[in-house]
Structure 1
Amino acid sequence: MTTRRFTRILASAAALATIIGVSACGGSDGNKGALGDADKAELVFWGWDAGNTMKELIADFQKDNPGITVKFNSTGTASNTQTALSNAIAAGKGAPDVVMLEDPTVTQFAVTEDLVDLSSFGAADEASKFVAGPWNKLQYDGKPYAMPIDSGPEMLFYNKAVFDKAGVDGESIKTWDDYYEAAKKVRATGSYMTNNSGSAMEYQPFTAQAWQAGAHPWKVDGEKITIDMTKDAGMKRYIDFQQKLIDEDLINTQVSNWSDEWNRSLNDGSIASLTIGAWMPVNLMNGAPDQTGNWRVAQLPQWKEGEEVFSDDGGSALAITAQSHNQAAAYKFIEYMTLGKGAVTMSQTGTFPCLKSILDDPDFTNPESEANKKVNAFFGGQNVSAVLAEAAKRPVGEFQYLPYNAFAQTQFGDDISPAYNKKIKLEDAFRAYGKSLAEHGTQQGYDVTNEG
């Protein structure tokens, strides 16, 4: 079976959806080799604009590159972007030149040959400039298919006021055993250490925490996929720990991430901590304003004391679609956004960077900068950027995402949530999840082995 068969299967499914924004696209006719003029082009760029900085970024790029114009089409969310791109692929035309994607979805479009291998532009030579976590997620078959915009090292955020009430020192939580003991003390005060309902919104934290536990729930080798949800040593470690938290009522299993109730619980202190990506500070500031001065951030607990094993949670990247006729100019724009002045601008407006040069720059961690002053005030005067930058530069192990990541996230909620509702054990839920993933992969044309 050739890789192109996957494209046809994916396209057939996507064609059932309403095509979003196809009329305003840059490429057509599945063009695979038109590099175009690197200095003259009209680019179409799809993505979201959480920091409201795209207008400024594009204006600065066009000023430095007067022969290139960039039309930004805001898709609103990462999910909308992925859907729109799938629809353009199904139509065989209408894809943009440059597309913003969440890191875990890049492989999905790389394996179907609908993204450009950026090593042809020298992108592979830039690996050492980025921290390992986000860079590694964008590789397929040993080649980069996107360039990272930001980073999301998994961190421990905690409410010091709640911890103090419980007699817990957040800085002393070095291991997951420490975390467990702290969770019991926090629960005795009436609050929960954290939340997890097993919904699709908890999929990304699951992958990050399983990653840190050394898990390999799936392995992708070209067209061959091996799924091991319950026998893999790292998965067993993750499942056993989560089951203990569920059984002892140490986490709120009724609240999903990003729900209104989640923000209310963070704001009133009934949820006392989160293990989540380094991009979380601004979200906490917006979602829990009544807790100004109370929150802190610390490094992620370790499975063995003294280790420094980390993982990445989330992240976004820029890719060139295979339909683009302006690939050379598109890569110049991507270079500006990920390696050039654009990356600096984004780091100054709330995007957590993945470029080592920015993380190492004293200005980034300067507590007297206006951006840092605002964040540090919410975190009780802590130098937040310094703690986050330290985490971003720590080593991470290898972790893959499935080439049908969107399905994996949606199905996660369907199969895993019953365990958090205490209807079944978590091991059984993950066994069912593995079966769902294997069946879907087989339907998509992959050679899937499900080991349990």
Structure 2
Amino acid sequence: MGNAKRIVAVVAAAATMIGLAGCGSGNSDGNKGSESKADLIFWGWDTGNSMKKIIANFEKANPGVKVKFNNTGTAEKTSTALSNAVAAKKGIPDVVMLEDPTVTQFAVTGDLADLSQFGADKLADDFTAGPWNKLQYNAKPYALPIDAGPEMFFYNKAVFDKAGVDGESIKTWDDYYEAAKKIKAAGSYITNSSGASGDYQPFTAQAWQAGAKPWKVDGEKITIDMTKDPGMKKYIEFRQKLIDEDLIDTKTANWSDEWNRELNDGTLASLTIGAWMPVNLMSGAPDQKGNWRVGSLPQWEAGKQVSAEDGGSALAVPKANKSQAAAYKFVRYMTHDAGAQQMADSGTFSSLKKILNSSSFTDPNSAANKKVNDYFGGQNVNKILAEGAQRPTEKFQYLPYNPFAQTAYGDEISKAYHKDITLEKAMSNYAQKLADHGKQEGYTVTVK
């Protein structure tokens, strides 16, 4: 690849590397090292406060391998720090946690190890399809998934009942549209969407489910098609109808205080969002305990059972490190072997089929599950989420500059939800902005 896409990272490298320099391996190309003896540096975040215990268990099982965990705080800070370390060619960690969509960014530039050399490609059937597919580049795995975020349909049964809508009968997006009209007549909105950057993941999930391919990445070549692609046309037409008929709240942004208030008072009646949402509803909308339910994501075609992912994280091995074999052993432990169960026990929604299908995961009488199930009116929530996670998904790629894509989405698409321009025009503008940035980064970009 050219050097253009390294420029921004180099400018910021010095400041970021102060706290992380001296960590990780030096440059090495193809040196796998020993699987049983290494000192590893691991970057990532630890929302469940579980890393210390899991690492201790790994080291006990693998006495020759030591792991030092550097908590980099957030996904964004971690990917930025990795970009800076790669640009500076020093301080690169041996293992790094990344959000699933950013894995492509580092795979395309050749900064991650192809894990198929360690047999990771043989693990495909052990993971659910959505997370696994996101981590492939040129049909090879460049990370292993920690968790899953299948998009699900969460709805407030009390509000739906008031509007005369049976939530269980919503099987397609056409059904959803008809329900939205009844819910609006009853004084609520079926959901919100303001086109802000926080809507980017739900957008990619629903476009993905529609079979859309808004961008294709082939090494240095990128093709962007936001308006002519059949799946995108289907998605744009449907969303424009919701905007034009004022069937969704276009003023309230996801994760805002207003959003939680509207979920809590019934103004917002449903969400299509990742399977990790239950705990957020429980804390953000406590007054609705017993009213919320969860079901399958509406389908674009009747009779289908196609899913898509909304969120997720993974572990990768930077190519520069000298101990790739030991690093992969740790990655596999955390995502596939004993550590994966420990992660699940700490609250992570696993992407491993054996965990999702286990009786312990779906046991309605466990303390953790009972608390969630009570909030959801007695549903066995994990059982429903596990089934959703194992539905088939289409192939989908992310751009190799995904953080920019998310920010630019909010800048451009919000104009359509504010009714300044049509969604088709906003997507066209968005495509051009993505293309301009890609060219600045050194890619050859074509806009259809």
Where do 1:89-128 residues align within 5 Å?
Answer: 89-128=86-125
1: CA distance, partners of 2:241 / 2:403? 29
Partner residue in 2 for 1:431 = 428
CA displacement, residues 146-191 of structure 1 (integer Å, 9 cap, x when unaligned)? 0011111111011111111111111011111111111111112222
Task: Choose the corresponding residue for 1:395, options 384, 392, 395.
Answer: 392
1:105 Cα deviation after fit: 0.4
Matched, 1:87 2:84: yes
Amino acid at match of 1:127: A
Partner of 1:352: 349
**Corresponding position: 1:229 with 2:193:** no
Show the 5 A alignment for 1:261-276. Answer: 261-276=258-273
Alignment of 1:215-364 (within 5 A): 215-364=212-361
The equivalent residue for 2:25 is: 27
How far apart are 1:69 and its partner, in Å? 1.8
Matched position secondary structure for 2:319: coil
CA distance in 2 between partners of 1:284 and 1:31 (Å):
46
Q: Return the TM-score normalized by structure 1.
A: 0.96
| 1:151 and 1:312 in contact (8 A); partners too | yes
Match for 2:143: what amino acid? A
| Structure 1 residue 430 displacement after superposition | 0.2
Asked if 1 retains the 8 angstrom alpha-carbon contact of 2:41 and 2:68, the reply is yes
Gaps of 5+ in 2: none
- 2:418 pairs, out of 389, 407, 421, with 421
Paired residue secondary structure (1:195): coil
CA distances 1:343-367 after superposition (whole Å, capped 9, x unpaired): 1112222211111111221221111
Q: Is the 8 A contact 1:220 1:400 kept in 2?
A: yes
Structure 1 runs not aligned, ≥5 long:
none
Who is 1:15 aligned against?
A: 10
Alpha-carbon RMSD across the aligned residues, in angstroms, is 1.3
How many Å apart are 1:24 and its aligned residue?
5.0
- 1:107–1:402 contact (8 Å) kept in structure 2: yes
**Post-superposition shift, 1:39?**
1.6
Q: Equivalents in 1 of 2:184, 2:69: separation in Å?
A: 47
- Structure 1 counterpart of 2:25, one-letter code: G
TM-score by length of 2: 0.97
Q: 1 CA distance for matches of 2:277 and 2:93?
A: 30
1:51-86 CA-to-partner distances (Å, cap 9, x unmatched) read 221122112111211222211111121111111111
Letter in 2 for 1:65: N
In 2, are the aligned partners of 1:282 and 1:350 still within 8 Å (CA)?
Answer: no
How far off its partner does 1:114 sit? 0.8
Q: Would you identify which runs of 4 or more consecutive aligned residues in structure 1 move more than 4 Å?
A: none
Letter in 1 for 2:236: I
Q: Distance in 2 between matches of 1:310 and 1:438?
A: 28
Deviations 1:257-276 (A, max 9, x none): 12222222212221111101
Question: Residue 436 of structure 1: CA displacement?
Answer: 0.8
Cross-structure match for 2:403: 406
CA contact (8 A) 1:213 1:235 kept: yes
* Corresponding position of 2:171: 174
Contact 2:21 2:90 in 1 (8 A): no
Residues in 2 aligned to 1:369 and 1:224: alpha-carbon distance in whole angstroms: 50
* Equivalent position of 1:183 in the other structure: 180
Kindly state the Cα deviation for residue 299 of structure 1 after the two structures are TM-superposed: 0.1
Structure 1 partner of 2:58: 61
Partner of 1:133: 130
2: CA distance, partners of 1:160 / 1:349: 29
Moved more, 350-359 or 420-429: 350-359
How far apart, CA to CA, are the structure 2 residues paired with 1:24 and 1:387?
46
Give the partner amino acid of 1:247.
D
Letter in 1 for 2:124: A
Distance 2:324 2:333 in 1: 14
Partner in structure 2 of residue 367 of structure 1 = 364
Q: How many residues align?
A: 445
Cα distance in 1 for partners of 2:259, 2:76 equals 21
Give yes or no for contact 1:348–1:371 (8 Å, CA) kept in 2.
no
Within 2, Cα distance between the matches of 1:45 and 1:98? 5
The DSSP-based 3-state class of the residue aligned with 1:226 is strand
Q: How far apart, CA to CA, are the structure 2 residues paired with 1:84 and 1:257?
A: 27
Q: Is the 8 A contact 2:196 2:253 kept in 1?
A: yes
